[in-house]
Amino acid sequence: MKYSVFVTFAIEGFHCWPEAKDVFPEVAFLSDRHRHMFHFKCYAHVTHTDRDEEFIRMKRRLETQIQTEFGNMNSYGFHGCEFGRMSCEDIGEWILKHNENIYRVEVSEDNENGAIVER
């Protein structure tokens, strides 16, 4: 048997694609910084049915990693993540590079369109 677990979560964030106006003029607005709710689904291999990767801990660890690296903190607390020019693919790749046990990451914008990155 093969086993995997997954977690899902969403984080408010901002990003842009500066070249969009030149590459695809019809979506030139993507060149400017804009907001999304980034939705994540992250998968990890496990070796048995007794949870060698616990869901809640995995989810909290991933959220904390992302917020620590990209989070925008102000006097009111967490105020979203600043992903700069990172695409969904870039964000997924970052997660894979920082988590050996994760083998697949899905990142979507507003739970509509997104990307899948796999090891």
Residues whose CB falls within 8 Å of the CB of residue 22, separated by 6 or more in sequence, listed in order:
none
- For 91, the domain range is 3-118
Predicted local confidence at residue 76, as pLDDT: 73
Helix, strand or coil, per DSSP, at residue 52: coil
pLDDT in tens, 2-19: 999 999 999 999 999 999
Contact 53, 4 (CB under 8 A): no
**Domain containing residue 113: CATH number:** 3.30.479.10
Tokens of 94: 């970052």
Average pLDDT on 22-30 reads 96
Q: What is the DSSP letter of 62?
A: H
| Tally of domains in the chain | 1
| pTM score, whole prediction | 0.92
Predicted local confidence at residue 77, as pLDDT: 67
Task: Tell me how far apart the alpha carbons of residues 31 and 39 are, in angstroms, rounded to a whole number.
Answer: 21
pLDDT in tens, 60-79: 999 999 999 999 876 676 67
Among 32-36, 46-50, 89-93, 107-111, the minimum mean pLDDT is found in: 46-50
More confident residue, 103 or 79: 103
What is the percentage of the chain residues whose pLDDT exceeds 70?
97
